[in-house]
Amino acid sequence: MDERQLRILRELGELGSVTAVAEALLVTPSAISQQLRLLQRAIPVPLTERQGRRLVLTDAGQALAGAAVEVETALARARHTVEEFVGRPDGEVSVAAFHSAGAAFFPFLLRALTGPGKPVPRLADEDVPQEDFCRLTRDYDIVLAHRLDHAPPWPDTVATTTLLREPLDVAMPADHPLAAKRRVTPRDVADEPWITVHDGFPVLAVIESIAAAAGCRLHLAHRINEFAVVAEAVAAGGGIALMPRWTMRPHPELALRPLSGVQARRHIDALHRPERTARAAVRTVLAELRRAARTIQDSDRGSEETRSGRSANASAE
């Protein structure tokens, strides 16, 4: 038995005929009769009987119709509870991010979502190979993932909001000879020791593109995934590395230089299962992530203008 069949039985008890029930529910009498037959098959005693032209409920039918009222009431209460949950602006929202995205976006979320009537963020770091990000959407409402600019898009099973298209620059010690250049080429960096990520992580494909463009194999001296640790290793003279331009805090002992001749840019995307955005709280968090992304980009533009102004003044002097 199901909710629809129970409702038909209840309506039959009140209206007294299949035709009247069909008119009330905006279906055909034959459809009502079919549902009554299906319901009867699941019950071992008769639910209806004929009284002249009328089809009336037996004692068992009246008992089940009474239970149908309780079922409809419980279902209505459940729907109302779901609607309240979906519409609540202050529910918990779980967000996972790889490390550099977490460092950039989590502080924005925590500041923006403080106070009554706002979603409660539950944050987690998840450093996984690229193909595993989609699986994380089973466990989290929103997953911040990264992929290279030219990589295949995420599968259709997840919804995607692109937050940033972030350049990857070559990081080197501030006193490195290449720091005198405004841009570097694959040939410039081909003979340097490299600090890069483990296999399966997006940045490694850029390293492979640099090697292909330079026509030689690169010396991969160290494998470190966490960019904050990479920055310290570069500053200590351990090699050069690819570093995100916007989502890492500037390191006073490093210089970052754009790379020419190779596509070196990553997407930072918010992934989620489409049904998650039925909740108002999840939509609010997505809006805050988009706002944070604009702030991150605008802050870098302001820093770039300041750096350009300083360079121009230095040249004039």
pLDDT band at 126 (very low <50, low <70, confident <90, very high): very high
Cβ–Cβ < 8 Å for 152, 231: no
Domain limit, last residue, from 56, 87, 118: 87
Domain at 266, CATH number: 3.40.190.290
- Residue 165 in 3-state DSSP? strand
The pLDDT, as a whole number, for residue 1 is: 74
Average pLDDT over residues 277-284: 91
Instruction: Please provide the average confidence, as pLDDT, over all residues in the chain.
Output: 88
User: Please, what is the Cα angle at 242 between 228 and 122, to 5 degrees?
Assistant: 45
pLDDT band at 83 (very low <50, low <70, confident <90, very high): low
Tell me the pLDDT tens digit for each residue of 215-257.
999 999 999 999 999 999 999 999 999 999 999 989 999 999 9
Domain limit, last residue, from 70, 87, 104: 87
Q: Burial code of 255-288, b = ≥16 C-beta within 10 A, e = fewer?
A: bbbebeebebbbbbbbbbbeebbebbbbebbbeb
Domain that holds residue 171: 92-308
The pLDDT, as a whole number, for residue 312 is: 36
> Among 70-84, 112-126, 182-196, which is the least confidently predicted range?
70-84
Q: Note whether 124 and 83 are same-domain residues.
A: no
Q: Note whether 187 and 206 are same-domain residues.
A: yes
- Residue 307 in 3-state DSSP? helix
The pLDDT, as a whole number, for residue 52 is: 80
Q: Note whether 80 and 177 are same-domain residues.
A: no
* Number of CB atoms found within 10 A of residue 223's CB: 13
Percent of the chain with pLDDT over 90: 61
CA distance 296 to 164: 9
> Among 1-10, 160-169, 295-304, which is the least confidently predicted range?
295-304
Question: Is the pLDDT at 309 greater than 50, yes or no?
Answer: no
Choose among 125, 65, 97, 18: nearest CA to 289.
Answer: 97
CA distance 286 to 167: 22
Choose among 204, 170, 175: nearest CA to 185.
Answer: 170
Report yes or no on 317 lying in a domain.
no
Q: Note whether 148 and 268 are same-domain residues.
A: yes
Tell me the pLDDT tens digit for each residue of 52-63.
878 889 999 889
Report yes or no on 177 lying in a domain.
yes
Report yes or no on 314 lying in a domain.
no
Report yes or no on 233 lying in a domain.
yes
CA distance 99 to 268: 12
Percent of the chain with pLDDT over 70: 93
pLDDT band at 315 (very low <50, low <70, confident <90, very high): very low
Report yes or no on 289 lying in a domain.
yes
pLDDT band at 80 (very low <50, low <70, confident <90, very high): low
Q: Note whether 186 and 250 are same-domain residues.
A: yes
Domain limit, last residue, from 67, 87, 107: 87
**Which residue type does 227 have?**
F
Cβ–Cβ < 8 Å for 94, 142: yes
Tell me the pLDDT tens digit for each residue of 178-214.
999 999 999 999 999 999 999 888 889 999 999 999 9
Question: Is the pLDDT at 310 greater than 80, yes or no?
Answer: no
CA distance 10 to 165: 58
Q: Note whether 178 and 114 are same-domain residues.
A: yes
Q: Note whether 183 and 50 are same-domain residues.
A: no
Q: Note whether 47 and 98 are same-domain residues.
A: no
Q: Note whether 27 and 102 are same-domain residues.
A: no
Report yes or no on 313 lying in a domain.
no
Q: How many domains does the chain have?
A: 2
pLDDT band at 300 (very low <50, low <70, confident <90, very high): low
Q: Note whether 53 and 80 are same-domain residues.
A: yes
Average pLDDT over residues 298-309: 52
Q: Note whether 250 and 121 are same-domain residues.
A: yes
Cβ–Cβ < 8 Å for 301, 245: no
Domain at 77, CATH number: 1.10.10.10
Q: Note whether 211 and 110 are same-domain residues.
A: yes
